[in-house]
Amino acid sequence: MMDSQLQFVQLLTTHQGRLYAYVLSLVGDPEQARDVMQETNAVLWQKSESFEIGTNFAAWMMKTAYYQVMSHRQKISREKLVFDDELTAELAQAANDQNEMIEEKQDMLRDCLAELNDRHRELIRARYQDGFDLSAIAEKMNRQTNAIKQALFRARANLIDCVSQKVQEASS
C-alpha cells in the first residue's frame, strides 16, 4: 500500500466515530445511519485520489456524507417520516458547527497538554493514551497508588483549568 493510501486509510478510520455521529444526527435512525455511513465510506474510497493529504479531511468527509444523506433521503422519500430539505440543511449546519467546536477544543487540549510539566504529561499519557490503570502506573513509576491518584487528579485539574481559560479567551 502506498504511503498516501495508508495516510488516507488512517484518516478514514480515525474519523469513523465522528462520521457516524454526523450521519445519525441527520437521519435520526441508527440502522439508516450505518447504511449511509457505508455508502459514504465507499464514495470516499472511490474519490480518495482526489483528496489532498494535509487538507481538512473532516470537512471533506462531512460534505460527502451530507450528499449521501440527501441521496438516501430521495430513496426513502416514500416513507412517512422524512425530514424536509431545510431541516436537513439546518441539522447539517449544526453538526458542522459542533464538529468545528470539537476540533477547536481538541487543539486547545493539545496545547494544554504541551503546557503540563513532564511528570503530569507522562501520567496523562500513561492513563489515557496507553490505558494503564492506577496500580500499573504506580508500579511503573515506583510510587504509591494514592500518590499517583493525587498527581493524576492535579494533572486533570490543570488541564480543565487550562482548556477553560482558552475557551474563555476564544469567546472574548
**Residue 108 within a domain:** no
**Residue 109 within a domain:** no
pLDDT of residue 76: 76
Domain boundary among 47, 72, 103: 103
- 33-89 pLDDT, tens per residue? 999 999 999 999 999 888 888 888 888 998 999 999 998 888 877 655 556 677 778
Cα separation, 124 vs 129, in Å, equals: 7
Q: What is the mean pLDDT of the chain?
A: 86
Average pLDDT (5-30) is 87
Q: Which domain holds residue 166?
A: 116-172
Does residue 14 register a pLDDT over 60? yes
Average pLDDT (135-149) is 91
As for how many domains the chain has, the answer is 2
**Residue 65 within a domain:** yes
What would the DSSP string read from start to end of 42-92? HHHHHTGGGS-TTS-HHHHHHHHHHHHHHHHHHHTTTSS----HHHHHHHH
pLDDT of residue 83: 63
Does residue 154 register a pLDDT over 90? yes
pLDDT of residue 97: 78
Question: Which range (3-12, 20-29, 83-92) has the least confidence?
Answer: 83-92
pLDDT of residue 80: 56
CA angle 93, 99, 105 (to 5 degrees): 140
**Residue 149 within a domain:** yes
**Residue 110 within a domain:** no
Considering the domain architecture, whether residues 22 and 97 belong to the same structural domain is answered as yes
What's the whole-model pTM score? 0.49
Considering the domain architecture, whether residues 88 and 149 belong to the same structural domain is answered as no
Cell 441539522 maps to which residue? 91
Considering the domain architecture, whether residues 11 and 34 belong to the same structural domain is answered as yes
